[in-house]
Amino acid sequence: MQNRMMITGAGSGLGREIALRWAREGWQLALSDVSEPGLQETLKLVREAGGDGFIQRCDVRDYSQLTAFAQACEEKLGGIDVIVNNAGVASGGFFSELSLEDWDWQIAINLMGVVKGCKAFLPLLEKSKGKIINIASMAALMQGPAMSNYNVAKAGVVALSESLLIELAQQEVGVHVVCPSFFQTNLLDSFRGPTPAMKAQVGKLLESSPITATDIADYIYTQVAAGEFMILPHEQGRMAWALKQKNPQLLYNEMTVMADKMRAKAKQSAN
């Protein structure tokens, strides 16, 4: 381990906070995002925090941009030890309202972006016997209503991570998957959905969360160090996951009630 980390979606939010957490330990960071100004700001903060590194604009939908990023990591840092597939977008809406374009967009970024990140960087990780940290969501485990495309994409990230955990054990490449619940973030900047009411509801959940991206980055840092595969940063999330494993039907019933309430609220907003 030479303390070299790659992060996608590092221009803001959780990606930036992960960069700062590892920067405080003196790591070299390869930062990518679709937002250049965001990246510039993150790199400035990283250097102030005691780390260093470089930035490269990268759209995770484009595999050639990810392989070019991996090549830059090899040229500038001599390789990579940890990759964080964090780039993601938010969306919501009931299944009947979501277009196939909404599905394609969501899967292309939140699922295939992670697949492509793992694929592009795997040769470097096999050399360094490094680690993969994939950022999924509690939505992957709990499947809340009115976000089926997001749920499916994030569940795919968990399934991919489980597959890699097993397949890469022989190569001594570690794998972790993180499933945060709602937290204070700028995820809504990328929100896409059929109704403004849905965006407002998600916004309220994000704002009311007592946990910040900084808290989550801290929790990820300690759990990765402890060798934990599935990282659930929220206590409520851990409780909900335990409940679902014990009594899934109870959870489905609760989610059905929640869906009814959301529909009623959306109707009120429309009138």
Question: What are residue 30's DSSP bridge partners?
Answer: 6, 54
Strand (E) or helix (H) holding 82: strand 82-85
Angle between helices 36-49 and 13-23 (to 10 degrees): 20
Count CB-CB contacts under 10 A for residue 17.
23
Q: Are 56 and 32 in contact (CB under 8 A)?
A: yes
Q: Which of the 8 DSSP states describes residue 111?
A: I
For residues 39 and 10, is the Cβ–Cβ distance under 8 A?
A: yes
Distance (Å, rounded) from C-alpha 185 to C-alpha 191? 12
DSSP tag of 60: T
Measured CA to CA, the distance from residue 146 to residue 164 in angstroms comes to 29
Strand order of the sheet with strand 28-33? 52-57, 28-33, 4-7, 82-85, 131-135, 174-178, 230-231
Annotated active-site residue in 63, 150, 219, 252: 150
Give the sign of the dihedral formed by CA 246, CA 248, CA 254, CA 259: positive
Active site residue 63: no
Dist. CA 57–CA 35, nearest whole Å:
7
Active site residues: 150
